[in-house]
Chain A
Amino acid sequence: MGETAGAARPWILLSPALGAIGFLLVVPVFFVIVYSFWLRSATGAEVPGFHLDNWQEVLSDPFYRDILLSTLRIAAITTLSCAVLGYVPAYFIATSRTRHKTLLLLLLILPFWISYIIRTMSWINILGVSGALNQLLVATGIISEPIQMLYNEATVILGLVHFLLPFMVLNVYVSLDAIDPNLADASRSLGASSMQTFREVTLPLSLPGLAAGGLLCFVLAAGTYITPLVLGGPRDAMFANLVFEAIITQLNWPLGSALSIVLLIILGGIVAVYNRLVGIGQIAKSFG
């Protein structure tokens, strides 16, 4: 009897959290799945039932496939850019002997205190025709007329990198900070150059952090909606924009549900692969 009670105790203790996850995550996703099999009527109201029309459309229409592939491509470029740009500051903070390391970390998370939309829109004032960069280039005589820099795929990626870079830096920093400094010293004492030490000791040991940051950046970039809306041109929509349009503009909640589930399955699959190869626990380390 006592043994049974002991076995049940973890579940009892976990029940509030499990209940919250169940009500706030599992049940809504279940509803979304159910919705995906309904149909939209001519008035915009839903027709309950079990219909495969939405799934057939989503899975067979090249329009959705192309936008999905474009979304994954943009997310991959963003992730790679974040990795390249984020490693250097993370390495600097981790190896810095300054007393102000905490301040540097604080500066890293400072952008999170400002609204994501405001941060995204700030690029309009920087890259716009009458923005700061164009004014500077014209004033210095490098160009004679302002050039069009906004509203294309490059600015979408720029906005995403701006948004996601701190996630990458934090993950890489945690990974680098956990490396025993004696390992690098040992490598050098055995004759390795600084570059060899970095390539064969530091970089491999920091890969889990890089992978964790990469996963976060990729998943967040692939699910983004605001950045292409604000900084993209007519053709720069991402998959989440299609979900928004289906649900909000077209009032087609069943189709929007099917699109949401497709994105969920693909991103969930990527997370599952990551978990299999690296372990999801790596991400938790960067949050404390």
Chain B
Amino acid sequence: MENTRRYERLLDRYRHGDVNRRTFLGLIGASATVYGVAGGPFAKFARAATPDQVRFDGWGGIVSEAFREHAFNPYTDKTGITVVDGTFGGADEYLARVRASQDGEFNLAHLSGVFDYSRYHSLGLSSELNEDNIPNLRNVIPALQQVFRNITDGKLSAVPYDYGTTSIAYNRKFISDDEVKEKGAKVMIDPAHKGKIGGWSDWKTRIWYGALQTDQDPNNIEDVEAVWDAIRANRDLVLKYWASGAELMSLLAEEEIHVTEGWSGRIKALQDQGHDIGYYDPPGGLGWQECIFVIKGSPMEACEELLNFMLEPEVAIAVAEGQNYPPALDPRKVELSDKVKALPAFDPGGTLEGLNFFDADYWNSNEEEWSKQYSRVERGY
């Protein structure tokens, strides 16, 4: 029986004197407790995912603003479906929230990297997209799709949306282009810059750069102890490991640090603001791709419609220009704007062969051990 009907029948019985006031209130209270704990009508109110609305969570800041202005608002105007726009501080934090939620509470997420896609899939949080409902998917760079398909048996739980690099950002006032080119990733373990080096506090990035600093392939590390030693060397020279794009920009702009790894879009934003910040992709530099992931239990058709809308060339290009990351659209199929073509990390060939990505299987298989070990190394061990 439907819950509202149950309540109406109970109310009728109370009004007709079949149950007294105390029993009526007791039953209401008990049902509220049961449904609140088990998930029922109250949980349904808490969910954002009803057929007339979907929830999207992203990185906030200029990225969210770009999505809201160029994708969500026009989508709502066109379809009448409201997009509940949430943000998160980091992918790990968001995953913890999703795991603690009920099915359908979170729908679409702007996830970073194949690594996260794989983690969500491993935890049983992946959905299966009906690609017929997303015709604009054919404009997306095939290489970006394929890495996801490899994880989910040829199907997709997400659409690739943008990509970028995490490479070396440096203040030209203190470090020359030639020095960075000569030293590559090792510039961040050069004692000459002690106290003026920064870095992302992400264990994967630290290990990736540790591998580059010890001349190893980050996707096939043979001497992990040498990598830990490189991370220790970096740690002893670092002023601050930053935890967000805003902190990265602040540290560089305020000249607290002179060199760090940086996200291409954020560095472009700094350059656009007039800061003389150089950006260099060292050999083996780190590329990444972001996707819009649909979480299991979401209203699929509404989500697919939004994904298709977000992949409309004019929408994807506008978002890309807003957030400073190239769109996942294949430049061989879609004419991209000059501004997009000038973005760092942009690949005019549409193959992304020049970028290096995390090998999801390799990194996932080491995640438990390495993330824990990094926590110790960062603290002086």
Q: Which residues of A contact B (CB under 8 A)?
A: 40, 42-45, 63, 67, 124, 128-131, 148, 150-151, 229, 233-235, 237, 242, 245, 247-252
The 0/1 profile, CB within 8 Å of A marked 1, for residues 297-308 of chain B is 000000000000
Check B250 for interface membership: any CB of A closer than 8 A: yes
Within 8 A of A (CB), among B346-381: 365, 368, 371-372, 375-376, 378-381
Number of interface residues of B (CB under 8 A): 32
> B92–A148 contact, CB under 8 A?
no
> A247–B96 contact, CB under 8 A?
yes
Check B95 for interface membership: any CB of A closer than 8 A: yes
Tell me the complex Cα distance, A74–B239, Å: 20
Chain A's closest residue to B97 (CB) is A248
Residues of A within 8 A of B380 (CB): 234-235
Residues of A within 8 A of B241 (CB): 234
> A249–B254 contact, CB under 8 A?
no
Residues of A within 8 A of B235 (CB): 234-235
Selected from A43, A44, A234, A242, the residue in CB contact (under 8 A) with B238 is A234
> A248–B92 contact, CB under 8 A?
yes
> A67–B371 contact, CB under 8 A?
no
Selected from A63, A248, A252, the residue in CB contact (under 8 A) with B379 is A63
Q: Taking the nearest CB of chain A, how far is it from the CB of B74, in angstroms? A: 33
Chain A's closest residue to B90 (CB) is A248
> A251–B381 contact, CB under 8 A?
no
Inter-chain pairs besides A63-B381, A234-B379, 10 sampled, C-beta below 8 Å: A44-B123, A63-B379, A67-B379, A128-B256, A129-B255, A130-B255, A148-B195, A237-B379, A251-B99, A252-B372
> A248–B375 contact, CB under 8 A?
no
> A129–B254 contact, CB under 8 A?
yes
Residues of A within 8 A of B371 (CB): 249-250
Q: Taking the nearest CB of chain B, how far is it from the CB of A224, in angstroms? A: 16
> A235–B250 contact, CB under 8 A?
no
Given contacts A40-B368, A128-B254, contact A234 B378 (CB under 8 A): yes
Check B243 for interface membership: any CB of A closer than 8 A: yes
Tell me the complex Cα distance, A74–B321, Å: 46
Interface on chain A toward B: helix, strand, loop, or mixed SS? loop
Check B203 for interface membership: any CB of A closer than 8 A: yes
The 0/1 profile, CB within 8 Å of A marked 1, for residues 231-254 of chain B is 000010011110100000010001
**21 contacts across the A-B interface (CB closer than 8 A):** A42-B365, A44-B123, A45-B124, A63-B376, A63-B381, A128-B256, A129-B254, A130-B255, A148-B195, A150-B256, A229-B243, A233-B238, A234-B240, A234-B378, A235-B378, A237-B378, A248-B90, A249-B375, A250-B368, A250-B375, A251-B92
> B240–A44 contact, CB under 8 A?
no
Check B20 for interface membership: any CB of A closer than 8 A: no
Check B332 for interface membership: any CB of A closer than 8 A: no
The 0/1 profile, CB within 8 Å of A marked 1, for residues 76-96 of chain B is 000000000000001011011
> A44–B122 contact, CB under 8 A?
yes
Tell me the complex Cα distance, A113–B375, Å: 34
> A42–B378 contact, CB under 8 A?
no
10 smallest A-B Cβ distances: which pairs? A43-B122, A248-B92, A250-B371, A235-B380, A151-B240, A249-B92, A130-B254, A248-B93, A234-B235, A248-B96
Tell me the complex Cα distance, A234–B378, Å: 6
Central interface residue in A124, A129, A249, by most chain B CB within 10 Å: A249
Given contacts A43-B123, A247-B96, A250-B372, contact A233 B239 (CB under 8 A): yes
Q: Taking the nearest CB of chain B, how far is it from the CB of A76, in angstroms? A: 20
Chain B's closest residue to A255 (CB) is B372
Residues of A within 8 A of B124 (CB): 45
> B372–A151 contact, CB under 8 A?
no
Chain A's closest residue to B121 (CB) is A43
Check B119 for interface membership: any CB of A closer than 8 A: yes
Selected from B93, B255, B368, the residue in CB contact (under 8 A) with A42 is B368
> B93–A242 contact, CB under 8 A?
no
Tell me the complex Cα distance, A42–B119, Å: 10
The 0/1 profile, CB within 8 Å of A marked 1, for residues 209-248 of chain B is 0000000000000000000000000010011110100000
The 0/1 profile, CB within 8 Å of A marked 1, for residues 92-116 of chain B is 1101100100000000000000000
Tell me the complex Cα distance, A148–B372, Å: 30
Q: Taking the nearest CB of chain A, how far is it from the CB of B297, in angstroms? A: 17
Within 8 A of A (CB), among B153-207: 195, 203
Residues of B within 8 A of A128 (CB): 254, 256
Chain A's closest residue to B234 (CB) is A234
Residues of B within 8 A of A250 (CB): 368, 371-372, 375
Chain A's closest residue to B239 (CB) is A151
Chain A's closest residue to B195 (CB) is A148
Residues of A within 8 A of B92 (CB): 248-249, 251
> A45–B123 contact, CB under 8 A?
yes
Central interface residue in B96, B119, B124, B365, by most chain A CB within 10 Å: B96
Central interface residue in A40, A43, A237, A242, by most chain B CB within 10 Å: A43
Chain B's closest residue to A235 (CB) is B380
> A129–B256 contact, CB under 8 A?
yes
Tell me the complex Cα distance, A245–B378, Å: 12
Tell me the complex Cα distance, A252–B256, Å: 34
Residues of B within 8 A of A242 (CB): 375
Q: Taking the nearest CB of chain B, how far is it from the CB of A250, in angstroms? A: 5
Selected from B96, B203, B256, B378, the residue in CB contact (under 8 A) with A251 is B96
Chain A's closest residue to B253 (CB) is A130
Tell me the complex Cα distance, A40–B239, Å: 33
Tell me the complex Cα distance, A252–B195, Å: 32
Q: Taking the nearest CB of chain B, how far is it from the CB of A277, in angstroms? A: 34
Residues of A within 8 A of B256 (CB): 128-129, 150
Residues of A within 8 A of B238 (CB): 233-234
Residues of B within 8 A of A44 (CB): 119, 122-123
Tell me the complex Cα distance, A235–B119, Å: 29
Residues of A within 8 A of B90 (CB): 248
Tell me the complex Cα distance, A150–B92, Å: 27
